[in-house]
């Protein structure tokens, strides 16, 4: 019987060690009486194709390890830090299970998990209620197999605030299961594009536009394929980037709803290698559980809220240039648009405050390395075709009879192609974006209709070229109307959004499709919600949300249709149990729309 303890990972609670009858099994379990009782908690959930936490393998490895059991209270700048040690058996499959409970009043919070300086998981929290909530998410983590094989500093950064107003702490447990299943090949080396602050027990994300995101990297001569994953999402002024306006209109409704956020609703994430544009990401408009109107997201959270996908850029055409034994620069930029007086759009080369950004470089080495000699490749750089996007911009500001601004309509349409090519590989991207926005009622009502589509293709050239492709579509329509009186405030909203992609696969397990091989996903969320708050009194939140989900992964199809009204699941064709909650949540009202959502009229939260 073999037991392995992870030293330094347990900050509180009673420890129990349990070993299974499998002589190679190691399990470390823990419970704590401080965690809220799960019997009275509302279960929140993200709709996704289920992942089996402990898949059966060849019985040579069947290990479960507790990686973290921690309370995130006043935790800004104080991440959980522990020492991970790999199990003493041969494994190629790793799954993690995240369980979170919370009670009280609190915003949704962003959380990032690192192995050393590499971000390996980005998630966010649901907003707790007075009675409390709980959720569990299981994630495939085998794509980071080369990191799991070695001891690592495990850092989990969930910044939270506790004060007289925001009282909810997050009780988090993180468990990993290891097995051997002769799974798909994964990257041999994973290099971080990050601020590399694990040495000081800190999170390694960049904050854009403040930070310089350039890192210097040496690429081994044995690398035969290289893929960069990009993890990037907006916060604060950039959380609702898809609803932002041109810079000249940010003060257009200052006298009514206050300042608006700028740089238009267009965003482009760019990867540069040695100052050369290497690929692009036009991001998915993530909506966290406090976004637009809180009533939407109980108990169904937004698409990808518990697991933010990381789009990929195949940089294999750059390999000949990078394999010279020298250091090369990798940089991630995020940009919006400036619009001139004559309506022409150009890259702003910056955004508002702020985007949380990291990347990983996945390297696949030649078979037989290091015992096999490596032939040095031609160091010539790739051919890059990167014409600037074509933009079409319109805007119209209408005034009322008293001379004040009554409405603003604007639109942004963008098209872009990108291609890079070497003697062995070519990488191409075709991207399209449109967003039409309307603010009326002197800024108290806003609707945005957005559509992002694209297709990425990587081709291995030669006598018989082979290609893999990923196509995607992100539709979004959101309307929100604010009512502000001396007695309180209201938010009325409706929305329709989706995430669709189809991929033929690629090397290893994709950080975008979250699987290996061909797969597809088609999911939509629609609904309406209302929030009302009485000044100095209570608030009421109401919501009606429908999600329809269809996917296929590893040849296994999955469908789920779920409908929730006022926190109660009234229809569910999937495996989630029916979730009951009080039809309406009542708590002390918040002082402004901006204090609730992070945008809109009023002052922000303290």
pLDDT digits (tens, 9 = 90+) for 328-349: 999 999 999 999 999 999 999 9
DSSP state letter for 240: T
**What per-residue confidence (pLDDT) applies to 214?**
98
- The residues that bridge with 98 in the sheet, in sequence order, are 137, 174
**What per-residue confidence (pLDDT) applies to 236?**
95
Sign, CA torsion 577/582/588/591 = positive
pLDDT at residue 28 greater than cutoff 90: no
How big is the chain, counted in residues? 606
128, containing H or E segment: none
Answer whether residue 440 is part of any domain: yes
Q: What is the DSSP string of 494-527?
A: EEEEEEEEEE---SS--TTTSSSSSEEEEEEEEE
More confident of the two residues 485 and 67? 67
pLDDT at residue 377 greater than cutoff 60: no
197, containing H or E segment: none
d(Cα 187, Cα 39) in Å, to the nearest integer? 42
pLDDT at residue 308 greater than cutoff 80: yes
DSSP state letter for 159: -
Q: List, in sequence order, the alpha helices (H) in 30-164.
A: 145-148
Number of domains the chain is built from: 1
Cα 486 to chain centroid distance, Å, stands at 38
**What per-residue confidence (pLDDT) applies to 209?**
98
- The residues that bridge with 488 in the sheet, in sequence order, are 485, 534
Sign, CA torsion 50/51/52/58 = positive
As given in the structure block, the two tokens for residue 42 are 């509302």
Other Cβ atoms closer than 10 A to 186 = 22
Write out the E strands in 320-424.
328-335, 337-339, 345-347, 355-365, 383-385, 390-399, 405-421
Q: Per residue in 416-448, pLDDT tens? A: 999 999 999 999 999 999 999 999 999 999 999
- 183 — pLDDT class (breaks 50, 70, 90): confident
More confident of the two residues 453 and 39? 453
d(Cα 520, Cα 471) in Å, to the nearest integer? 9
Cα 299 to chain centroid distance, Å, stands at 19
208, containing H or E segment: strand 206-208
Domain holding 219, by residue range, is 42-370+379-572
**Average pLDDT score, the chain:** 89
Residue 462 CA: distances (Å) to CA of 315, 420, 422, 466:
18, 16, 11, 8
More confident of the two residues 503 and 595? 503
Beta strands 133-140 and 42-43: pairing type? parallel
Residues 6+ apart with CB under 8 A from 59: 22, 24
- The residues that bridge with 129 in the sheet, in sequence order, are none
344, containing H or E segment: none
- 59 — pLDDT class (breaks 50, 70, 90): confident
Query: CA 452, 597, 450 angle in degrees (round to 5)?
Result: 15
Answer whether residue 601 is part of any domain: no
For the chain, give the percent of residues with pLDDT over 90.
78
**What per-residue confidence (pLDDT) applies to 243?**
98
- 261 — pLDDT class (breaks 50, 70, 90): very high
- 269 — pLDDT class (breaks 50, 70, 90): very high
d(Cα 278, Cα 134) in Å, to the nearest integer? 41
d(Cα 412, Cα 53) in Å, to the nearest integer? 43
pLDDT at residue 471 greater than cutoff 60: yes
**What per-residue confidence (pLDDT) applies to 374?**
52
Q: Which of 87-96, 382-391, 536-545 has the lowest mean pLDDT?
A: 536-545
pLDDT at residue 309 greater than cutoff 90: yes
More confident of the two residues 588 and 598? 598
Beta strands 445-460 and 425-440: pairing type? antiparallel
Q: Residue 545: phi, psi to the nearest 5?
A: -130, 135
Q: Which of 21-30, 167-176, 317-326, 480-489 has the lowest mean pLDDT?
A: 21-30
For the chain, give the percent of residues with pLDDT over 70.
87
d(Cα 99, Cα 136) in Å, to the nearest integer? 4
**What per-residue confidence (pLDDT) applies to 486?**
86
As given in the structure block, the two tokens for residue 15 are 């420890």
- 380 — pLDDT class (breaks 50, 70, 90): confident
Cβ(272)–Cβ(297) below 8 Å: no
Cβ(147)–Cβ(115) below 8 Å: yes
**What per-residue confidence (pLDDT) applies to 7?**
27
Sign, CA torsion 297/301/305/306 = positive
**Average confidence (pLDDT) over 348-369:** 94
Q: List, in sequence order, the alpha helices (H) in 145-243.
A: 145-148
Q: Residue 147: phi, psi to the nearest 5?
A: -75, -40
As given in the structure block, the two tokens for residue 71 are 């309370």
pLDDT at residue 57 greater than cutoff 80: no
pLDDT at residue 582 greater than cutoff 80: no
As given in the structure block, the two tokens for residue 576 are 């989630």
- The residues that bridge with 346 in the sheet, in sequence order, are 338
**What per-residue confidence (pLDDT) applies to 10?**
29
**What per-residue confidence (pLDDT) applies to 37?**
57
Answer whether residue 597 is part of any domain: no
**What per-residue confidence (pLDDT) applies to 580?**
43
Nearest in space to 397 (alpha carbons), one of 539, 270, 540, 251: 251
**What per-residue confidence (pLDDT) applies to 596?**
64
d(Cα 4, Cα 24) in Å, to the nearest integer? 11
Answer whether residue 158 is part of any domain: yes
d(Cα 161, Cα 574) in Å, to the nearest integer? 35
**What per-residue confidence (pLDDT) applies to 592?**
64
As given in the structure block, the two tokens for residue 472 are 């995607």
Nearest in space to 330 (alpha carbons), one of 155, 235, 196, 471: 196
- 597 — pLDDT class (breaks 50, 70, 90): low
More confident of the two residues 288 and 601? 288
State whether residue 189 is helix, strand or coil: strand
**What per-residue confidence (pLDDT) applies to 601?**
72
**What per-residue confidence (pLDDT) applies to 129?**
85
Beta strands 328-335 and 337-339: pairing type? unpaired
- 21 — pLDDT class (breaks 50, 70, 90): very low
Cβ(72)–Cβ(158) below 8 Å: yes
**What per-residue confidence (pLDDT) applies to 304?**
98
């Amino acid at each position: 019987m073999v037991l392995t303890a992870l030293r330094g990972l347990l900050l509180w609670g009673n420890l129990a060690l349990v070993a299974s009858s499998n002589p190679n099994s190691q399990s470390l379990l823990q419970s704590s009486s401080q965690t809220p009782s799960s019997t009275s908690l509302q279960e929140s959930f993200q709709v996704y194709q289920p992942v089996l936490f402990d898949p059966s393998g060849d019985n040579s490895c069947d290990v479960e390890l507790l990686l973290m059991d921690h309370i995130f209270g006043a935790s800004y700048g104080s991440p959980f830090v522990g020492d991970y040690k790999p199990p003493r058996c041969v494994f190629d499959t790793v799954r993690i299970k995240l369980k979170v409970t919370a009670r009280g009043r609190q915003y949704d919070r962003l959380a990032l998990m690192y192995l050393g300086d590499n971000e390996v998981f980005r998630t966010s929290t649901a907003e707790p209620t007075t009675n409390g909530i709980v959720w569990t998410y299981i994630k495939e983590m085998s794509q980071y197999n080369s990191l799991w094989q070695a001891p690592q500093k495990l850092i989990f950064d969930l910044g939270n605030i506790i004060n007289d107003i925001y009282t909810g702490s997050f009780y988090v447990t993180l468990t990993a299961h290891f097995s051997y299943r002769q799974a798909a090949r994964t990257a041999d080396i994973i290099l971080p594009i990050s601020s590399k602050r694990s040495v000081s027990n800190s999170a390694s994300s960049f904050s854009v536009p403040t930070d310089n995101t350039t890192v210097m990297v040496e690429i081994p001569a044995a690398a035969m394929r290289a893929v960069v994953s990009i993890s990037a999402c907006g916060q604060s002024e950039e959380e609702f980037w898809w609803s932002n306006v041109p810079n000249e209109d940010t003060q257009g409704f200052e006298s009514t709803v206050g300042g608006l956020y700028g740089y238009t609703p267009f965003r482009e994430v760019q990867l540069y290698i040695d100052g050369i544009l290497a690929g692009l990401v036009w991001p998915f408009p993530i909506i966290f559980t406090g976004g637009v109107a809180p009533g939407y997201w109980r108990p169904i959270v937004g698409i990808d809220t518990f697991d933010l996908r990381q789009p990929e850029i195949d940089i294999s055409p750059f390999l000949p240039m990078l394999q010279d034994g020298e250091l090369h620069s990798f940089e991630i930029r995020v940009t919006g648009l400036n619009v001139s007086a004559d309506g022409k759009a150009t890259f702003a080369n910056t955004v508002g405050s702020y985007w949380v950004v990291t990347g990983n470089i996945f390297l696949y080495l030649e078979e037989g390395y290091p015992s096999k000699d490596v032939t040095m490749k031609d160091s010539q750089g790739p051919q890059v075709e990167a014409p600037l996007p074509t933009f079409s911009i319109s805007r119209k500001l209408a005034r009322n009879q008293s001379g004040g601004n009554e409405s603003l309509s604007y639109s942004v349409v963008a098209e872009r192609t990108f291609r890079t090519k070497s003697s062995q590989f070519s990488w191409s991207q075709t991207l399209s974006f449109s967003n039409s926005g309307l603010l009326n009622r002197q800024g108290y009502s806003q609707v945005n209709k957005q559509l992002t589509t694209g297709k990425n293709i990587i081709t291995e050239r030669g006598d018989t070229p082979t290609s893999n492709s990923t196509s995607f579509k992100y539709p979004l329509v959101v309307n929100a109307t604010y009512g502000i009186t001396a007695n309180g405030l209201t938010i009325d909203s409706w929305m329709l959004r989706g995430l669709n992609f189809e991929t033929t696969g690629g090397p290893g397990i994709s950080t975008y499709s979250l699987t290996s091989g061909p797969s597809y996903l088609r999911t939509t969320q629609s609904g309406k919600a209302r929030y009302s708050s009485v000044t100095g009194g209570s608030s009421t939140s109401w919501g009606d949300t429908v999600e329809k989900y269809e996917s296929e992964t590893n040849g296994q199809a999955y469908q789920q249709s779920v409908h929730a009204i006022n926190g109660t699941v009234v229809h569910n064709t999937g495996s989630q149990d029916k979730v009951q909650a009080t039809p309406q949540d009542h708590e002390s009202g918040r002082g402004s729309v901006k204090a609730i959502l992070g945008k809109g009229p009023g002052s922000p939260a303290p």
